[in-house]
Structure 1
Amino acid sequence: MTVEIAIVLGIIVLAVILFVTERFSIDTVAILIMVLFMLSGILTPAEGLAGFSNPATITVASMFIISSAIFKSGMLNGVGLGLTRIGRTNYLLCLLALMLIAGTLSAFINDTAVVALLMPVVIQVSKDIKVSPSKLLIPLSFGALMGGVCTLIGTSTNILVSGIAQAQGERPLGMFEFAPAGVWFLLVGVAYMFFIGRHLLPSRKLTESLSEDFDLGDYLTEVVLLPESPSVGVPLQQSSLVRDLDIEVMQVTRGQEKMQVFPSFILNENDVLKVRIGVEKLKKLKQERGLKLKSERKFRDEDMSMSDSKLYEAIVTPGSYMEGKSLKELNFRSYNYGASVLAIRHRDEIVHEKPTHVKLSAGDVLLIAANSSQAEKLRQNEDLLIISQTERSPFNYSKIIPVLLISVGVVLAAATGLVPIVLSALAGVVLLIIFRCIRVDEVYKAIDWKVIFMLAGVLSMGAALEKTGAARLLADYLIYGVGEYGPRALLSVFFFITFMTTNFMSNNATAALLAPIAIVTAQELGVSVRPFLMAVAYAASLSFMTPMGYQTNTMIYGPGNYRFSDYLKVGTPLNILFWILASLIIPVFFPL
């Protein structure tokens, strides 16, 4: 082992620790390791920054834009309507249709977008057929993951592995090269969920209202501000009610007029404040000077509709700007025209007391009280996904046909080898802009820049492993330990290591780390590189055992009211089944 190899392995160990502990965001860690490789002299600036111009990075960015154009055209609305009709007939039929639809769409559209599209539909269907959402949301995520491994563009991981292969002199992976084994994974996975997995899914309490679902249990109280109240003439945010008692004021009635509430709203004497408050704070409120309590009763969803407001559930999306920040830091209420967060489902707990102080994580569900204008503002927020009170994108017939033709053209041009995937995807984006299917400002919003920076950063790992010989050293260790059992055994080991690692670390980072080692291992054994690359690509996307294993698993965590153990219970047998299946079928479709 040389000094350079020791430095590379040290930096990678640091990266793995940071990825697993989630102390910093994934894209931050990826850029950090890229900088460390350049500062240590392992990579030159040109080599370290090459990830930004890598065909894989550009292709992934282009596919984000194409997926967004498809989503905005309203083309997929019929899918949601069809699933709603099927779902209302029978739970098992709904489960089967949901996984197959999610899998089919994810083969061609970003899987995160597919789950974002179908999740509100699934939640509404679950209420219609009186089934807990926890019985359908894991199948939705798993179906999307399994469908994503059927094509090159189904997931960014496949594109990344293809880019790594091309960078190391191998032939890039084809558009439908993944399909033969990928379809087997999808069909076997659907069969597992239909016959076995559904029995392992939790059945969380099914509630009729959001206030009951979030266990608010609070009182709705009307308070009259008397002339002697210290809050009279003071902005709402600075009043003693908010500052000292941390009370949520939901509406102010002045005379006969219901006023829109926002932080700088000036309170007047005789204003009637409708507040949501817990039992302990209610006792303190009764002792507050200058207040008169008119009524108090249990809070219900209907109370929101009576005040021109509704309750909405919204998820903090993976990669959101809101991650790691509190609502107070984000100035959430001011930014969203006075919309109020009543509670937060944060991992395994529901936060009622001081929800504005909670550090948010991807997958957290916010219970928000908002009127129609505030709700529209929320829908435009790229960092939140509203999953209740669903609003479908309207059909835009002037866009649907060109979007469909351009998207099909991108796939066919790459599949037939007419042009490389990076060129067909870029050409598709340019055509979408020319035909006004998507605006330039929407193009920039459509790209998940955290993923792009993360891809550019993790590609430096592969470059450092290959340049210093660290990949060859690790490959020699693997061959020494398992090589005597043959290439099939090593292939099986790669699949196992990859899916175990990706359940606790970014799937793209896992692929960037293991793909160069897989290439060198195959070369050392004198066998085809293809099956080893495919093993890494498949396993990196088929992660079912943890909520952080893949973005879609994180997205359904809060809405499904899941616990960490639920993923282990349902996902572990499926991962083991796929490990056995992969060991058998990958050498068949990709001969060693």
Structure 2
Amino acid sequence: MGMPSYHAIAAMAVTIAMFIAFARGRMSVEIISLMTIAVIAVGLYFFPLEGTAPTDGLSLAFSGFGHYALITICALMIMGRGLVVTGALEPAARLLERVFKINGQLGLLISLVVAMFLSMAVNDTPVLVLLLPIFVALAHRGGMPASKTLIPINAAVLIGGMATTIGTSTNILVVSIAVDLGMREMGVFDYTPIVLFAAVFALPYLWLVMPRLLGDNRVFDQHELRRFVTRLRVTEDSMLNGRELAEVVKRLPEGIEFEEVPPGLMRANQRLTMTGTHEVIEEAARVLRGDAAPSWVMERIRRSSQEKRIDIAVVEMTVTADSRLIGRTLPTSGIADLYGVAVIGLHRPKRLVGERNKFSVGGDMRIVEGDVLLVMGLPDDLQNFAQGDSLLKLEGMRELPRRSKATLAAAIMIGSVALASVGLPFFGSEGFFLLKVPIAISALAGAILMFVTGCVKFDRVGRALSGKVIVLVAASIAIGRIVLESGAADWLGLLISSGLQHLPPAGVLAAIMLFVTLLTNFASNATAATVGTPIAFSIAAQLGLPPEPLVLAVLFGCNLCYATPIAYQTNMLIMAEGSYEFGDYIRTGIPLVVIMVAALSVGLVLTYQL
């Protein structure tokens, strides 16, 4: 075997340098990714690959920005944003929240098992797309941090996708190449027992160890969360109407407190004073189906939002010394009539809390300088209120979920997943059949529908996309192409095969699996499958082994993409939501790769009696 070409050496050097830079973490992911693309572009321009022009190198380096994988990931992010802003996932998040409240460890274990078995029947990418926003919503509702759950859930999805020939497109590619080379066509569940055997060893690691290796990446506010006083109006259809408060208090979120609870049954139009943070008050009002401001004001805001197609927002404002509101109560302030906004809560600084009764009239607090109002309305109305009554905005506006479109957003997501996993029903000359649509097409169609139906506003699309993920995907695609087209992958394959003659069968299988794992974590699954499958056949012929277990070693290796975010699109999807760094994947992924390689190698040896 000769030395690799200069281009192959350079490709391997750039890949290793990128990996080291990511692992050290001294520069941002965006800078490293852009520098990698620049090095490939400049290098291939002045030293083009054999038989290519300098401009072909530029096309290769920047091809990732127009690649279908990047378009797919962006479309999936947009659909995920649609589920979040419409509140479509709140029921599922609340259900999971109850399970996690009973026992957090049990909730995580159930989630891991469900994710794994779902991805056996449905392509792994749609499965993660469905689960990702649910766990993000769960984290926002006080459950386990997303940074501690998303990598384990993603790994469970990838293990499940490995277990059947339909679990991932890479599995289909490996089996197809093997059939073309002369191997029998494998059934959907032919090797499922081997993967389930390995999963027995992997699941305890995912469940008990991996979350401990991941930090809590949530960004906490430096100041203590403000607690607001609000007077909840009991409406006709409220859960409280005709009941005592004690009957429903268990359904309310933690942190809500009530003052002067009236005895007996609650009736419509009664007011109930409660305190809590912004999110807690909003959740309590939703559960109790009551209004935190006069019903006519709330209804006018909702109607105006629908007519103008503008989202309702909530913002915190502090009362300055020049405000006309000082000395007034909320009912006598005329805020709703003048500005069309609703004050749904009032926070009083600690220095004045002890003097609350001194500043109250008939149960309503007089507004004093320094009070913080929690105000809901349309953005322009909120701005007019702040300017007109000399208020200072303390927090950026938070848009309320567009719950009227929650069902529509969920239907779009489910439809997109069904197109990619089940297929589109067709009646043709041969009868009824299902035509599977590539995930890139179904995700793009779903994202467009999110825009057209107003589930995601086009001018807010930037909030759904992560610049870090975009440039990382583009860089990983460029690295994958240069590794393949420079001949580096072929040379590495020959190097591996030349050193396997004296190893036992389990060692041969493990070496092939590790080689393909290396390719799939730094190039792509398709590259690993394309390069690894023919090499497996060649090694089988040289060593006198049956080709099937060696081909399965390639298939398994293609799915062991846990150690880097660039290895697979689902890894990149969770990167922004979990606030992960490159090192998080390395720290948690390498032990999992070792566990899976060892267990799968033993499973192959036992199954094929090597």
TM-score range, shorter chain: 0.5 to 0.7
Equivalent residue in structure 2 for 1:426, among 436, 441, 453: 441
Task: In structure 1, list runs of 5 or more residues that go unmatched.
Answer: 127-132, 214-249, 260-294, 298-304, 311-336, 338-368, 377-389
TM-score calculated relative to the size of structure 2: 0.51
Equivalent residue in structure 2 for 1:109, among 111, 117, 126: 126
What CA distance in whole angstroms lies between the structure 2 residues aligned with 1:589 and 1:182?
11
Is residue 420 of structure 2 the alignment partner of residue 401 of structure 1? no
Match for residue 458 of structure 1? 479
What CA distance in whole angstroms lies between the structure 2 residues aligned with 1:139 and 1:482?
38
Task: In structure 2, list runs of 5 or more residues that go unmatched.
Answer: 226-316, 327-348, 352-369, 376-382, 384-391, 427-431, 542-546
- SS of residue paired to 2:422: helix
- SS of residue paired to 1:541: coil
What CA distance in whole angstroms lies between the structure 1 residues aligned with 2:417 and 2:160?
17
Match for residue 397 of structure 2? 374
- Higher mean displacement: 440-449 or 139-148: 440-449
- SS of residue paired to 1:493: helix
User: How many residues align structurally?
Assistant: 421
Equivalent residue in structure 2 for 1:484, among 499, 502, 510: 502
Is residue 87 of structure 2 the alignment partner of residue 80 of structure 1? no
- CA drift of 1:17 comes to 0.7
What CA distance in whole angstroms lies between the structure 1 residues aligned with 2:186 and 2:56?
26
Could you say if the C-alpha distance between residues 425 and 472 of structure 1 is closer, same or farther in structure 2, counting changes exceeding 3 Å?
Answer: closer
- Answer yes or no: is the 8 Å Cα contact 1:146–1:182 preserved in 2: no
- CA drift of 1:78 comes to 2.9
Equivalent residue in structure 2 for 1:307, among 372, 377, 382: 372
- Answer yes or no: is the 8 Å Cα contact 1:87–1:94 preserved in 2: yes
What CA distance in whole angstroms lies between the structure 2 residues aligned with 1:51 and 1:36?
10
What CA distance in whole angstroms lies between the structure 1 residues aligned with 2:148 and 2:199?
15
Equivalent residue in structure 1 for 2:552, among 511, 531, 538: 531
- CA drift of 1:495 comes to 3.4
What CA distance in whole angstroms lies between the structure 2 residues aligned with 1:588 and 1:47?
48
Could you say if the C-alpha distance between residues 423 and 567 of structure 1 is closer, same or farther in structure 2, counting changes exceeding 3 Å?
Answer: closer
What CA distance in whole angstroms lies between the structure 2 residues aligned with 1:486 and 1:112?
41
Identical-pair percentage: 11
- CA drift of 1:29 comes to 1.5
- CA drift of 1:12 comes to 2.1
- SS of residue paired to 1:522: helix
Letter in 2 for 1:7: H
Is residue 157 of structure 2 the alignment partner of residue 92 of structure 1? no
- SS of residue paired to 2:499: helix
What CA distance in whole angstroms lies between the structure 1 residues aligned with 2:497 and 2:38?
31
- SS of residue paired to 1:151: helix
- Answer yes or no: is the 8 Å Cα contact 1:414–1:421 preserved in 2: yes
Equivalent residue in structure 1 for 2:599, among 578, 581, 586: 581
Is residue 159 of structure 2 the alignment partner of residue 144 of structure 1? no
Letter in 1 for 2:90: N
- Answer yes or no: is the 8 Å Cα contact 2:423–2:434 preserved in 1: yes
- Answer yes or no: is the 8 Å Cα contact 2:70–2:474 preserved in 1: no
What CA distance in whole angstroms lies between the structure 1 residues aligned with 2:95 and 2:111?
10
Is residue 75 of structure 2 the alignment partner of residue 65 of structure 1? yes
Match for residue 47 of structure 2? 40
- SS of residue paired to 2:320: strand
- CA drift of 1:5 comes to 1.3
- Answer yes or no: is the 8 Å Cα contact 1:461–1:513 preserved in 2: no
Letter in 1 for 2:444: V
Aligned positions of 1:97-496 closer than 5 A: 97-100=110-113, 103=116, 104=118, 107-109=124-126, 111=128, 114-115=131-132, 117-122=134-139, 124-126=141-143, 133=144, 137-151=147-161, 180=192, 188-194=201-207, 196-197=208-209, 211=223, 253-256=320-323, 307-308=372-373, 371=394, 373-376=396-399, 396-413=406-423, 423=438, 425-426=440-441, 429-430=444-445, 433=448, 436=452, 441=458, 449-465=470-486, 468=487, 470-485=488-503, 488-496=506-514
Letter in 2 for 1:256: S
- Answer yes or no: is the 8 Å Cα contact 1:150–1:178 preserved in 2: no
- SS of residue paired to 2:72: helix
What CA distance in whole angstroms lies between the structure 1 residues aligned with 2:204 and 2:508?
28
1:229-249 per-residue CA deviation (whole Å, 9 max, x = no partner) reads xxxxxxxxxxxxxxxxxxxxx
- CA drift of 1:539 comes to 1.6
Match for residue 387 of structure 1? none
Higher Rg:
2
Q: What is the Cα-based RMSD across aligned positions, in Å?
A: 6.0
- Answer yes or no: is the 8 Å Cα contact 2:319–2:371 preserved in 1: no
TM-score calculated relative to the size of structure 1: 0.53
What CA distance in whole angstroms lies between the structure 1 residues aligned with 2:459 and 2:138?
25
